[in-house]
Structure 1
Amino acid sequence: MSDDSAWIEIVLLAMLAAFIGLRLVSVLGKRTGQERPIGDNFRPAAEVQSPQRREADRPPRGRLVLPAGTDPALLPALEDIAGADAGFAPAKFLDGARSAYGMILGAFWAGNLEPLHGLAADDVQDNLAAAIEARGGHKLGNRLVAIDDATISAADMIGNMIELTVRFTARVAAPDGETTSHDLWTFSRLAGNADPAWVLIATDNEADSGDMLPDHTD
Structure 2
Amino acid sequence: MCVTVEIILLGLVALFVGLRLYAVLGKRTGHEQQPVTRLETVPGPDPRATVPDAAPGRVEDSGLVYEEHAAGGIRAIVSADSSFDVARFLEGAQAAYRMILEAFWQGDRETLEELVGEDVRQSFFDAIAEREAAGHKLENRLVAIERAIIEDARLDGRTASIVVRFDADIAAITRNEAGDVVAGSMTDAVETHDVWTFRRALGSRDPNWLLVETDEA
TM-score under structure 2 length normalisation: 0.63
- Does structure 1 conserve the Cα–Cα contact (< 8 Å) formed by 2:36 and 2:71? no
Contact 1:62–1:79 (CA under 8 A) maintained in structure 2:
no
Indicate which of 148, 156, 159 corresponds to 2:157: 159
From 174, 183, 203, the equivalent of 1:192 is 203
**2:64 touches 2:86 (CA, 8 Å); kept in 1?**
no
| Equivalent position SS for 1:166 | strand
Instruction: Kindly report which structure 2 residues correspond to 1:167-182, keeping only aligned pairs within 5 A, or say none.
Output: 167-175=165-173, 176=185, 177-182=188-193
Amino acid at match of 2:125: A
SS at match of 1:184: strand
CA positional deviation for 1:62: 5.5
Counterpart of 1:87? 83
Label 1:123 to 1:73 Cα distance change in 2 as closer, same or farther (>3 A): closer
Question: How many residues get paired?
Answer: 147
C-alpha distance in 1, partners of 2:101/2:122? 15
Find the partner of 2:71 among 71, 75, 79: 75
1:106 is matched with 102
Give the secondary structure class of the aligned counterpart of 1:135. Answer: helix
Q: Give the aligned residue type for 2:194.
A: D
Query: Structure 2: how far apart are the matches of 1:69 and 1:159?
Result: 25
Out of 131, 137, 140, the residue aligned to residue 139 of structure 1 is 137
2:96 and 2:140 map into 1 onto residues whose CA distance is 17
* Ranges in structure 2 where 5+ consecutive residues have no aligned partner: 1-33, 40-60, 174-184
2:67 touches 2:152 (CA, 8 Å); kept in 1?
Answer: no
Q: Structure 1 residues 122, 73: closer, same or farther in 2, change over 3 A?
A: closer
Alpha-carbon shift at residue 146 of structure 1 (Å): 0.8
- Gaps (5+ residues) in structure 1? 1-60, 207-218
Residue pair 1:84, 1:192 contacting (<8 A) in 2 also: no
Instruction: Compute the displacement of 1:63 (Å).
Output: 4.2
Q: Distance in 2 between matches of 1:193 and 1:84?
A: 13
Cα RMSD over matched residues?
A: 2.0
Q: Which aligned pairs between 1:28-43 and structure 2 lie closer than 5 A?
A: none
Matched with 2:118 is: 122
C-alpha contact 1:111 1:139 (8 A) present in aligned 2: no
CA positional deviation for 1:186: 0.3
Question: Percent identity at matched positions?
Answer: 40
Structure number, greater radius of gyration: 1
What is the alpha-carbon distance in structure 1 between the residues aligned to residue 93 and residue 140 of structure 2? Answer: 20
Counterpart of 2:212 in structure 1 is 201
| Corresponding residue number in structure 2 for 1:210 | none
Query: Normalising to structure 1: TM-score of the pair?
Result: 0.62
The Cα offsets for residues 23-70 of structure 1, whole Å up to 9 and x where unpaired, read as xxxxxxxxxxxxxxxxxxxxxxxxxxxxxxxxxxxxxx8542555432
Which residue number corresponds to residue 21 of structure 1?
Answer: none
Deviation at 1:134, TM superposition (A): 1.9
Higher strand share: 2
Q: Given the superposition, is the C-alpha separation of residues 63 and 126 from structure 1 closer, same or farther in structure 2, using an over 3 Å criterion?
A: closer
